[in-house]
Amino acid sequence: MVTKRHQQANILGMAGQWHCIIPTMPDSESAITPVSIDPQRLRLTNDDASTGTLIGFKCNECEASVFGPAIFCQQCTSTDLKAVDLGNKGILFSFTIVRIPPAGWPGEIPYVLGQVELPSGPQVLAEVINCEHKDLKIGMGVELVLKSVPAENGGPDKAVYKWRPV
């Protein structure tokens, strides 16, 4: 009797173990940390790719800032540029409601495409989420929010940047 009970306990113990192991297996692939959708425009700032900062260049001649890669200043044409963080906040400069999305658009339709002005001047186009259309106001503060989307080629998920009201 003792042996049988012992076996039973063992089986239950195993079941308990499998219960712990099995649910983690399907997750192992998606647990790979997402990578920036565009490392020249978005730098991830934490390990799980949930926060990031926009990046670009600042002109050493006239101090104008550019979002993303640049080889010369768009304002004064100087090539004396330094890489800078452009932060994760801005002001809604303009927006439109997109009803006919680009091919392959993975999100909801219609969606809001916002033109956001960063404190240092450059403007950045991205979807505005977490906001009713009627609540959108020109000049409202917005902040960057990162979402992970599956990569088309099966590699690590891509972290994409969107805006949401502050």
Task: Please tell me the distance from the alpha carbon of residue 84 to that of residue 53, in angstroms, as a whole number.
Answer: 10
Task: Please tell me the distance from the alpha carbon of residue 137 to that of residue 165, in angstroms, as a whole number.
Answer: 10
φ and ψ of 112, to 5 deg: -100, 125
With respect to Zn ion, which residue has the nearer C-beta, 55 or 73?
73
Q: Which of residues 86-125 bind Zn ion (CB under 5 A)?
A: none
Binding-site member from 75, 117, 123, 125 for Zn ion (CB under 5 A): 75
With respect to Zn ion, which residue has the nearer C-beta, 31 or 62?
62
Residue with tokens 């997109």: 98
With respect to Zn ion, which residue has the nearer C-beta, 66 or 92?
66
Pick the stretch among 4-12, 61-69, 112-120, 132-140 that binds Zn ion (CB under 5 A). 61-69
Residue with tokens 């390990």: 47
* Alpha helices per DSSP H over the chain: 2-21, 27-30
Site membership for Zn ion, residue 76 (CB under 5 A): yes
> What is the size of the binding site for Zn ion (CB under 5 A)?
8
